[in-house]
A and B are shown apart, each in its own frame.
Chain A
Amino acid sequence: MSSKPPQDRLITTAEEVATNFIPTEARLESVEKAALSVGIVLAVMSLIGLTLNYTPLGIRFFLSSRITCAFNSGLCNGSDN
């Protein structure tokens, strides 16, 4: 489990998404991290919508919110390991 407090985990979720998608030893600047984070979130949101559209439940609030939370939580936990 992460040692970060919950509010820090929420704030850094997008950054950890970027870290998971683009593993690199190089240190990125904060501007580059921000650009990567926002871009990845934009791309992933529409892909979640496209995927949900092919499920029997469709794009509903219950499924959308759960999958978005699961996606973020999974990537946060993945970055801790």
Chain B
Amino acid sequence: MLLRVYPYLINGLPFSVDSWPSIRYAELLLGNTPAPQVMRIFSGDTIIFGEKLFGAVVSTLTGLHPIDAMAFSVPLAGAFLILTFYALLNGLYGERASFIASLFLATAFSDVILEAGVKGETYAHPLYLLLVFLFLNQRLGWRKKNPTFHIDISISC
């Protein structure tokens, strides 16, 4: 988790140049809210707006500017990919294998670089892996799983 957040803690700016469009879209969303035609704000060429909405809500709730709120909260949310990955593998391969695999994933530099920025992938990866975890978990019977929950996560992704 610290590996993904420390670029912001050192620089005070969001990591990766790909972060700026998302932050600008969140600023536009907060500046023009309520905006029924939300896709027009997102210029119509992007269909991933989960992290922008998440950043806008976090920015509103914390009172921080979207740059500061999103630069910290989105990589922090992406860092929970490791926890979800561990939970997924723990049920499949046991505690030891899941710990080693999670350690590899947590320290893989390509994944750290990808998830240290404010990007749609950063926000979507934990949710996507959570869907995989829900489908593969044997203790959660298929009929007991709430379909609305899956729809919610799919929309957010």
Contacts and interface: CB of A to CB of B under 8 A. Distances in A.
A39 B33 contact: no
B152 A44 contact: yes
Given A39-B130, A53-B38, A68-B61, A47 B83 contact: no
The listed residue with most A CB atoms (<10 A of its CB), out of B50, B57, B144, is B57
B153 interface: yes
A55 B38 CA distance: 12
The listed residue with most B CB atoms (<10 A of its CB), out of A32, A55, A57, is A32
Main secondary structure of the interface of A (DSSP, over half): helix
A59 B140 contact: no
Chain A contact residues (Cβ within 8 angstroms of B): what range? 35 or more
B36 A54 contact: yes
Interface of B: 29-30, 33-36, 38, 50-51, 53-54, 56-58, 60-61, 63, 77, 80, 83-84, 86-88, 90-91, 123, 126-127, 130, 133-134, 137, 139-141, 144-146, 148-149, 152-153, 155-156
Interface of A: 21-29, 31-32, 34-36, 38-40, 42-50, 52-61, 64-65, 68
